[in-house]
Chain A
Amino acid sequence: MLFNSWEFIALLLLTMLFYFNVSEKFKTIVLFISSYVFYIFWRWDFALLMGAVSLINYFAAIRISQVDNQNSKKLWLSGAVILSLLPLIYFKYGNFLIANVNATLSAVGGHSQFNYLKVILPVGISFFTFQALSYALDVYYGRTKVETILLRFSTFVAFFPQLVAGPIERSSNLLQQLKTHQKFNRTSFIEGAKLFIWGLFKKVVIADRLALYVNKVYDSPELYGAPTLILATLFFAFQIYCDFSGYSDMAIATARMMGFKLMQNFNLPYFANSISEFWKRWHISLSTWFGDYLYIPLGGSRVVYLKWIRNIFIVFLVSGLWHGANWTFILWGGLHAMFYLIENWGDKLLKKMNLSSIKNTTWYKLFKIIVVFVGVCYAWIYFRATSINDALLITYKIFNHWDQSLYLGASSITFALSCGLIFMLVLVQLLQYAKICSLYFSKSKVPPLLSLVGYLSLLLGISLLGMSSQSFIYFQF
């Protein structure tokens, strides 16, 4: 069920109708049923899988809280982690592992090959697995209290606004809110509706339109020269941002309409002036997840220098692998790790040369924003390309094939519109950066009437220019 469908609107309205009108003891049941209905629209059998992941973490957390012995706690946690990750590994990484084993066997002259698994990836498996796991980990580390009501915990794992593509919520936030039954708040409803319109606009007007050009070029990169490949990569940078942040906005907005506050997942990432800042602004719920449950347990930065480098690489490579079972994603993560380290060395060099003060100048910050954006765009090539060969070919052509002219796409109107929409997005983001426009329910300096006209134009824009054929990129993760 997509957010931009009549089914979803009907589900949301029905959920709100029941949720705000039933007695307190039935409110969680309403959310639980809605969440599973939302998921069952894709596949009923995968809803069982989500239920199983919920049960594993629910019971493991109870046992962790009951046993006193640290080793027993560790054992229960390890069990929960392994059992929760098994379906993810099977469905998402099974064929990737088989392909690599087969390739290795071929390389060493072996003749036997493993058959590929006939599986499809359950939508949102990486998201609900990580959300359920974070709870068990938090109980283990004593960061959260154990939840004894299974229905409430299952609703936390399956909460439909953010079920299939995040933000990955923590029990300290969402589970606590599920305990306090929300009342209909008119201001929250309007705030949510406004954010929903903006998210939907980013998705169906900008992202899906840019996808037409990006898909065409990236499907056959050998046909195009440097100008086209650079433009397609630039378009992809905005496509993936609008696609994913659009979904996050709609998820946050939907929850807000029902009175729930989900965490912010994007904060103007392309305005970051360092790679570390980029990761504080891009997919915030995932980067903090890896920070809290992988980087810190590995020792974080409080280890010897070489171990710290190892930790950085582990976190970024795992993050790459989380995004997809392909070497392109791993390389994408590796590139970000390298950028991170280069930036760190650059900062140290500036310090050695007593030039640290330059970092506070506007020109340096602007220069860094551009450098970071170019670096991130370069890494997107590996993220979007269908194979490493394609990514390398694109890189090679970008530096060598300047003789081919720029491809303007199948329709010049679409091309002009795409460029215009990117310009508009950047303009809005500049206003958000300058805190003139509001971002995630913060105060806005825009007069209410102008704001109303703005949202009206966005809605008309969705109706007139919206495309509905593309599904969300992040659903595959």
Chain B
Amino acid sequence: MSKKKFIYIIVGFLSAFFLGDYVVGAILSGGLDKYYGLNSNAELAIVGHSHLMLGIDKQKIEQELNIGVAKYTREGVNLDERKIMIDQLLEANKNIKTIIIGVDAWSFTDEGLSANSYKLFFPFMEYHSINDYLKEESDWQEYVTKKMVRTSRYNELLLGGALRGYLGNWSNLKNGKVDVPNLKEQIKSGVYRKITINNSKVNTINKILNTLEKNKIKVILLNVPTIDIMIDAQKEKATEVFGELNKVAKKYKNTTFLNLQEPWSHKYDLFYDGIHLNPEGQKVITAEIVTYLNRMDLLH
């Protein structure tokens, strides 16, 4: 093989790869934008982790209120990551008037959620705030690879999200009902996530609310119900967290704390497991939120 042909093959192959990578990356990014409602005219945004993801039906709210909704919820994200998601939303969407932020009894707890949740942000590393965050969280090899090769920023979860964005499928449902005796057994044996209050997390929520107040965006801190068995196991701590959330909400004029813990937490038929709602539970909570948004006139 001649030197010239060899160079043509190598350069041609690499160029074709990076071109293919760019095109596939752009297609997937477009799908994710659609799925999460980024770069859209949505007036209402919903930000949280799986608890909120399974708790609210975005399409139902859109139908009932006749507004665009960006549902930006991701598995395992803690409060710090929710701050980054909100910063990203503010950068991408200019029409947002109201944000619903998912909170729960574990909002100020440090450990327990996925340690790898930062990986879900790789497709958005073009955003400054996310790029800085990823630089801190990932090792240099991972960071450089993702920076160079766009398709490597995705995993199956994100691929699924991109696909669902193009298919217009926003349903987040987990069918089934919580196994109450098993859950009680787990609680009895001490296998559950402990509630703690970490001051840095309280600071984070203050930072989020400060930013949103400056941007004149109304905020609902929403606690989607958690089954009472889980809360009763550490009732004092949970009450303390809800009290803190109430206190924080009162500090900001634009913020309210909507605690839907009662009257739903003891209705076991609504739960998929101790934390997450099943489709029936999602229906009930979405109806509650629609009523609340209408009543409070928060969208105007």
Residues of A at the B interface (CB closer than 8 Å) are 5-6, 186-187, 189-190, 411, 413-414, 417, 452, 455-456, 459-460, 463-466
- Please give the distance in Å from A407's CB to the nearest CB on chain B: 14
| B1-44 vs A, Cβ < 8 Å mask (1 yes, 0 no) | 10101100100010011001100100000000000000000000
Known: A452-B13, A463-B152. 16 other contacts (CB 8 A): A6-B141, A186-B3, A186-B5, A186-B6, A189-B6, A413-B156, A413-B160, A452-B16, A460-B17, A460-B20, A460-B21, A463-B21, A464-B151, A464-B154, A465-B156, A466-B152
Query: Measured between C-beta atoms, what is the minimum distance from B33 to chain A in Å?
Result: 18
**Residue in B closest to A453 when the chains form the complex, CB atoms:** B16
Q: Are A186 and B1 in contact (CB under 8 A)?
A: yes
Bound Cα distance from A460 to B16, whole angstroms: 10
Q: Which residues of A contact B1 (CB under 8 A)?
A: 186-187, 190
Cβ proximity bits B58-101 to A, threshold 8 Å, 1 near / 0 not: 00000000000000000000000000000000000000000000
Interface residues of B (CB under 8 A from A): 1, 3, 5-6, 9, 13, 16-17, 20-21, 24, 141, 144-145, 149, 151-152, 154, 156-157, 159-160
B21 / chain A contacts, CB cutoff of 8 Å: 460, 463
A414 to B141, CA, bound (A): 25
Q: Is the CB of B16 within 8 A of A456?
A: yes
Tell me the nearest residue of chain A to B140, going by C-beta.
Answer: A6
A-side contacts of B154, CB under 8 Å:
464
Cβ contact within 8 Å between B9 and A463: no
Q: In the complex, what distance in Å separates the CA atom of A474 from the CA atom of B3?
A: 38
Query: In the docked arrangement, what's the CA distance between A465 and B160, Å?
Result: 12
Point out the residues of chain B lying under 8 angstroms from A417, CB to CB: 156
Q: Top 5 closest A-B pairs, CB basis?
A: A186-B6, A464-B151, A463-B151, A186-B1, A463-B152
Knowing A5-B141, A186-B1, A186-B3 are in contact, say whether A456-B20 is a contact too (CB < 8 A).
yes
- Closest A residue to B144 using CB positions: A6
Give the residues in chain A near B152, CB-CB below 8 Å.
463-464, 466
Docked CA distance A166–B78 (Å): 44
Q: Chain B residues near A464 (CB, 8 Å)?
A: 24, 151-152, 154, 159
Q: At the interface, is chain A mostly helix, strand, loop or mixed? A: helix
Which residues of chain B come closer than 8 Å to A452, judged between CB atoms?
13, 16
Flag if B13 contacts A456 (CB, 8 Å): yes
User: Are A411 and B157 in contact (CB-based, < 8 A)?
Assistant: yes
The minimal Cβ–Cβ distance linking A147 to chain B, given in whole angstroms, is 33
> Residue on B with the closest CB to A194?
B13
- Inside 8 A of B20's CB, which chain A residues have their CB? 456, 460
Task: Please measure, in the bound complex, the distance between the C-alpha atom of A5 and the C-alpha atom of B145, giving whole angstroms.
Answer: 10
Chain B residue at smallest Cβ distance from A452: B13
CB-defined A-B contacts under 8 Å, sample of 15: A5-B141, A6-B145, A186-B1, A186-B6, A190-B9, A411-B160, A413-B157, A452-B16, A459-B17, A463-B149, A463-B152, A464-B24, A464-B154, A465-B156, A466-B152
Q: In the complex, A186 Cα to B5 Cα: how many Å?
A: 9
Tell me, in angstroms, the Cα distance from A189 to B145 when the chains sit together: 23
A459: which B residues are within 8 A, CB to CB?
Answer: 17
Q: Report Cα–Cα, A192/B13, bound state, in Å.
A: 15
Q: How far is the CB of A150 from chain B (nearest CB, A)?
A: 36
Q: Would you give the shortest CB distance from B31 to chain A, in whole angstroms?
A: 13
Chain B residue at smallest Cβ distance from A189: B6
CB atoms of B151 and A411 under 8 A apart = no
B160 to chain A, nearest CB (A): 5
Interchain nearest-CB distance for B25 vs A (Å)? 9
For the complex, give the distance between the alpha carbons of A187 and B5 in Å: 10
Nearest Cβ on chain A to B26's Cβ, whole angstroms: 13
Minimum CB distance partner of B24 in chain A: A460
With a 10 A CB-CB cut-off, give which of B6, B156, B159 has the most chain A CB atoms. B156
Question: Could you say which residues of chain B place their CB within 8 Å of the CB of A6?
Answer: 141, 144-145
Residue in chain A with minimal CB distance to B12: A452
Complex: how many Å from CA A222 to CA B20? 45
Query: Measured between C-beta atoms, what is the minimum distance from B120 to chain A in Å?
Result: 14
Report how far A269 CA is from B9 CA in the complex, Å: 33
Query: Measured between alpha carbons, how far is A186 from B10 in the docked complex, in Å?
Result: 10
**A460 CA to B145 CA, complexed, in Å:** 13
Known: A459-B17, A463-B21. A190 touches B6 (CB 8 A): yes
Q: How far is the CA of A186 from the CA of B2 in the complex (A)?
A: 8
Instruction: Give bound CA distance, A189 to B5, whole Å.
Output: 13
Nearest CB of chain A from residue B112's CB, rounded to whole Å: 18
Q: Which residues of B contact A411 (CB under 8 A)?
A: 156-157, 160
Give the nearest-CB partner of B116 in chain A. A469
B3: which A residues are within 8 A, CB to CB? 186
Give min CB distance, B161 to chain A, whole Å.
10
- A459-B17, A460-B17, A460-B20 in contact; A413/B6 too (CB < 8 A)? no
Residues in B neighbouring A187, C-beta threshold 8 A = 1
Q: How far is the CA of A419 from the CA of B154 in the complex (A)?
A: 20
- Residues on the B chain within 8 Å of A460, using CB: 17, 20-21, 24, 151
Q: Contact: A456 with B17, CB < 8 Å? A: yes
A464 to B162 CA separation, bound complex (whole angstroms): 13
Contact of A413 among B9, B24, B159 (CB under 8 A): B159
Contact residues in B for A465 (Cβ distance below 8 Å): 156
B156 surroundings in chain A (CB, below 8 A)? 411, 413-414, 417, 465
Q: Which residues of A contact B160 (CB under 8 A)?
A: 411, 413
Distance in angstroms from B152 CB to nearest chain A CB is: 5
For B144, the chain A residues whose CB sits under 8 A away are: 6
The smallest C-beta distance from A201 to any residue of chain B, in angstroms, reads: 14
Q: In whole angstroms, what is the CA distance A413 to B156 when docked?
A: 7
A190 to B145, CA, bound (A): 23
